[in-house]
Structure formats: C-alpha cells, structure tokens
Amino acid sequence: MAAKWCRIVNIPDFPLHRVPHRLARRQVDIFIDQFRRRLLASADKPAYPTTASPYARTTIRSMASDIFSSVEHGRTADEVVQQVESLILDGVLRVGDRLPGERELSKRFDISRPILREALKILEQRGLLSSRHGGGTFIADVIGEIFSQPVMDLIARHRRATHDYLEYRREVEGFTAGFAAERATAADKDILAGIIDAMREAHAAEDAEKEAALDVEFHNAVGEAAHNIILLHTLRSCYRLLSNGVFFNRALIYQYSGSRDRLLEQHIAIFEAIAAGNADMARRAAENHMEFVAKTLREAERANDWQRVANLRLQQRGGDGGKPRAKGATR
C-alpha cells in the first residue's frame, strides 16, 4: 500500500524492511496519510465539503452541513477522538445520531481509515459510540436518566411531585432564557426561528402531537443557545422525563380548550426576547410560560376528573340521561 502511494506522488518506495515490527503499522499509517494529503493538495482539491445550512439543527441524520474538520498536527486518532467528544459535549451530536460510513468519515477528517478505526474504537470503549451490526455507528445514550427507575415510578405514583417539577422548571427555564438572550449567536437565532415556523405550521394544521414535540425541541434549542454545557445536559435529561410522560401527559395541556393559542404566543414571546437580546424580558416570558403550564395542567386534570365522574354517573344510571326509574325497578 505504501509503495502504491509512493509511485503516485513520484517518490522512492518507503523502506518497510527498516521499520521495527512494533512500529511498522503506525509509521506506515502516518506515512500514507501524509502523502495522501500532499496528493490532494497538489490536485487543488478541498479535503471536505464546506457548505453551510441556513437553518435546521445540524445533525448527522440530515447531514445538512459538514460538522467535521480535517485533522491537523500529528494526524493521530487522539485528535479525532477529541473532536468528536467536543461535538457531543457541545450538544452538536445528539443521542441516536448516525455517523457517516467509514469511507466518508475518513475523507471528512482527511485521515487514513486505520487511524479512523482506532479513534472509533476508543470512543466506543468510552461509552460515547455504539455499533449496530449491519446498521452503522451511532452516538450512544450519554444523557441517561436523572433518576433511577424506582424513583421515577415513585414520582409517577405521587402527583405532588409534578408541582415541584414545574416549580423547578420555572426557575431553570427563566435563567436559561436569560442566558440565551445574552449569548445567542445568529445561528442560534436561526434555529429558534425555524422551530417557531414549524410550530406555526403545526398549530395551523391543528396537530397537537407535533406541537407538543416541537415544544420540547424549542426548549432544547433555548438551552443550547444559553451556551452552558452543564445546563444543557441537565436540561436534556430533565426533558427526557417530560417526553416519557413521567410527570404528566403533555398532550393533555395542548388539548385543553384555548391553551394551544396561548402556548404558541408564549413561545413566540420567548423567542422574540432572545432575538432582541433582552435578558430580563426573556426571563419573564419563560417564567410566565411555565406558570401558565402549571395552571393549565391543574385545570385540565380537574376537568378530566369531572368528565370521568360524570361518565361514571351516567353509566350507573344506565345511560338514560337521568330519567327517573319506574317504581320498584332494579338495576
């Protein structure tokens, strides 16, 4: 393989017989990689695409833009590992995102495939990647659960935990939105604007399920715009509980009379405050939003209880709408 690359770039063959056995593979990998880079440069060919995506969260699933950079310096596996770890830590790569194939990924990093395999192996050993036989390589579930399963079951059985959860969310969402207003970049604002547009479309289509999913995505994006990695991953773990319905059924809020219009208005208010860079306004908008969610949830649950009891009464009366029973009649 080394000799082939030597012939392509018109240099003498690499003296493999002079390399100690324990170092041979590593030296050859580096050697091949160096001359591959030189060949690409001589052809005036970019090492990887540099197209940018105007909106939509950059993910491996859509591959809207290239988030990987060619590896410089010693071109070792450690540099690839560090780059992927940073993308995961910064929330660019999310749980379940699928990495490109080995050939494509090695081109994007501008490294040899043996070096890439070594990097992927290290990342998998660290629990950051998972491989599925015949299905590719994915970002592993690095978020995990904020509570153990027994605690989550306990919370689900005792509804007063919902109040505490929403109280916690009010405070956290408030200062998160404030940070986002102070720190959001143009790209962050584009992402939020795109989610708001999708919310408007789902609202017009009266798709409550999609609106509820976009609700979580919007708050995730606000957390990303706050640019605090500890806060980001804490919120993601918290939102997972919400998505799994541990505390309450989000659809219940969206199905409650008049709430969908108000929720859309509140999300728009949070976005506009962040876009304007007004931290105080963003904080108040987020807090007011969570107060409305708590109030609406209480009212929706109470209305559901009323409906449930009324239906039971109707069933008990045989579904006759409360007509008086004949004297001596039994049920």
Q: Output the domain CATH number for residue 128.
A: 1.10.10.10
| Statement to judge: residues 297 and 173 lie in one domain | yes
Domain count, the chain: 2
Residue 21 included in any domain: no
244-260 residue pLDDT tens: 654 556 667 777 777 88
Q: 292 with 266: CB under 8 angstroms?
A: yes
| Statement to judge: residues 219 and 310 lie in one domain | yes
pTM of the model: 0.63
| Statement to judge: residues 200 and 118 lie in one domain | no
| Statement to judge: residues 124 and 212 lie in one domain | no
Cα-only R_g, the chain: 28
**C-alpha angle with apex 184: 180 to 188, nearest 5 degrees?**
110
Last residue of a domain, one of 142, 164, 181: 142
Alpha helices in the chain (DSSP H): 2-8, 21-42, 77-89, 102-109, 113-125, 149-157, 160-183, 186-204, 208-225, 229-243, 250-254, 259-276, 279-316
| Statement to judge: residues 60 and 193 lie in one domain | no
| Statement to judge: residues 225 and 275 lie in one domain | yes
Last residue of a domain, one of 142, 159, 184: 142
| Statement to judge: residues 254 and 189 lie in one domain | yes
Residue 23 included in any domain: no
| Statement to judge: residues 138 and 153 lie in one domain | no
pLDDT at position 172 over 90: yes
- Distance (Å, rounded) from C-alpha 214 to C-alpha 268? 13
pLDDT at position 107 over 50: yes
Residue 12 included in any domain: no
| Statement to judge: residues 210 and 254 lie in one domain | yes
* C-alpha distances out from residue 98 to 82, 83, 85, Å: 18, 16, 15
Domain of residue 297, residue span:
149-316
- Distance (Å, rounded) from C-alpha 315 to C-alpha 307? 12
| Statement to judge: residues 79 and 184 lie in one domain | no
Q: 129 with 121: CB under 8 angstroms?
A: no
* C-alpha distances out from residue 278 to 170, 184, 274, 290, Å: 18, 11, 6, 19
Please state the separation of Cα 173 from the chain's center in Å.
17
DSSP, residue by residue, 209-244: HHHHHHHHHHHHHHHHHTT-HHHHHHHHHHHHHHHT
Residue 329 included in any domain: no
pLDDT at position 58 over 70: no
pLDDT at position 165 over 70: yes
Tokens matching residue 124: 């998998």
| Statement to judge: residues 103 and 185 lie in one domain | no
pLDDT for the residue 190: 97
pLDDT at position 73 over 60: no
- The more confidently predicted of residues 200 and 147 is 200
pLDDT for the residue 2: 45
